Amino acid sequence: MRKRKKQTNYMVWAAPAAVVVLMLLDLGYYYVF
């Protein structure tokens, strides 16, 4: 049960982090090209 809780916690934190990284990459593309 503990492992499952940790996994969901990681997913909740990773989802928004991935979106932020993608946004930063998008902005970088605009600046480079």
Cα–Cα nearest to 24, from 32, 4, 7, 1: 32
Give the domain ranges of the chain. 1-33
CA distance linking residue 15 with residue 6, whole number of Å? 14
Determine the Cα–Cα distance for residues 2 and 10; give it in Å rounded to an integer.
12
The CA distances from residue 30 to 1, 4, 10, 18, in Å, are 44, 39, 30, 19
What pLDDT shows up at residue 8?
Answer: 76
3-state SS assignment for residue 33: coil
pTM of the entire predicted model: 0.53
Residue pLDDT tens, the chain, 33 long: 566 677 777 778 889 999 999 999 999 998 887
